[in-house]
Amino acid sequence: MRIIAAMSGGVDSAVAAARAVEAGHEVIGVHLALSSNPQKYRSGARGCCTIEDSHDARRAADVIGIPFYIWDMADEFHEGVVENFMSEYKAGRTPNPCLRCNEKIKFAAVLDRAKAMGFDGVVTGHYARTRESENGRSLHRAVDPLKDQSYVLAVLNREQINGAIFPLGDTEKVDIRKEAQARGLAVAQKPDSHDICFVPSGDNAGWLRDRMGSEVGPIVDQDGNKLGEHKGAYTYTIGQRKGLGLTVPTEDGSPRFVLKIEPVTNTVVVGPREDLAVTSMRGERPIFCGPEVGAAPLRGFVQVRAHGAALDCTYYMENYQLVAELDQPLLGLATGQAMVIYDGDRVVGSATICETA
């Protein structure tokens, strides 16, 4: 096949591209420029969009022996991911921009462009596996549980999965580094990237305040009694305990947690830990990687964070929404996060959490 290798400049995508070449594909390396004003140097372990990263990707392509180009996706990234990130926070939800990027950029804008240009698919360094069956191709967890990225890929539909190649899912990260070393790739020991690439400081709250202002509002208890003030409701997350700056203690001295964020009134509601408990969730915009889920309840697992636990649940569709009822309550679940349903290690699908109870 003729495929595009999305190369971030990191070790994973470099090894993925090299493996795709070895598998006999005709591979062209592409680095996505996602920032219209990139920083020159990488700072710490965050981001993948600096000029230094694009240079690393180019050198990896040289070593692998494939052509290399840079595609400017800065506008698409800003519109599809960064603006969405801000508007979701503004609406009191907690978005995951990595899922959004996979859905809108890596496996949409890039895959569509690649197909239009005569390529058959996109290879990336994500840790996930695909399997072929009579029902078509399905998406599965990687063998390395610490690196498994099936959660952030669960926004891909069947067509996108069919155009994707994930060569790293069967290998543990430590072995990928060894393989990179053996292949002579200079990025073998480059640190993993974490957090949100367009927030290089890692300070999401500060980043949001810089762009959306910091309008002061009340922090109240569940009865509406004002306990303190906050600097912008959107900088808080459900379940957050630290950084509330409350001076009025609770009667029994127990800590308070953020229970609710009300963007319209710019109010943060706090309360005791037990009130964070969630036993069911509903998600909108469901996307199924395999066969669609219907109204009949099924048993499986739901995962609500990138490296969170797989929670036993019963799931089904109701009113175009994906519902998961948990066997055991979960503490602190924000709307805006993705709920990903698994059947064993197979990804069933995902939805954006819009309601919890």
Q: What are the catalytic residues?
A: 101, 197
Site for another protein (CB under 8 A): which residue of 112, 170, 192, 229?
112
Return d(Cα 296, Cα 282) in angstroms, integer. 15
Q: C-beta of 69: minimal distance to another protein in Å?
A: 5
Residues 6 or more apart whose CB falls under 8 angstroms from that of 319 comprise none
Assess 63 for contact with another protein (CB under 8 A): no
Q: C-beta of 36: minimal distance to another protein in Å?
A: 8
Residue nearer to another protein on the CB measure, 69 or 305: 69
Assess 65 for contact with another protein (CB under 8 A): no
Return d(Cα 93, Cα 112) in angstroms, integer. 29
Return d(Cα 20, Cα 1) in angstroms, integer. 10
> With CB under 8 A as the contact rule, which of the stretches 11-19, 107-115, 221-229, 244-252 interacts with another protein?
107-115
Assess 70 for contact with another protein (CB under 8 A): yes
Return d(Cα 122, Cα 53) in angstroms, integer. 20
Assess 21 for contact with another protein (CB under 8 A): no
Total residues contacting another protein (rule CB under 8 A)? 21
Q: C-beta of 68: minimal distance to another protein in Å?
A: 9
Assess 13 for contact with another protein (CB under 8 A): no
Assess 69 for contact with another protein (CB under 8 A): yes
> Cβ distance 66 to 105 under 8 Å?
no
Each residue 43-62 as x (binds another protein by CB under 8 A) or -, in order, gives: --------x--x---x----
Residue 12 Cα distances to 7, 23, 29, 168, 200, angstroms: 9, 16, 13, 8, 20
Pairing of strands 321-331, 298-303: unpaired
> With CB under 8 A as the contact rule, which of the stretches 67-75, 266-274, 286-294, 337-345 interacts with another protein?
67-75
Return d(Cα 291, Cα 317) in angstroms, integer. 13
Residue 269 Cα distances to 47, 232, 276, 306, 353, angstroms: 33, 13, 11, 26, 19
Give the binding site for another protein (CB under 8 A): 28, 31, 33, 38, 51, 54, 58, 67, 69-72, 74, 76, 109, 112-113, 115-118
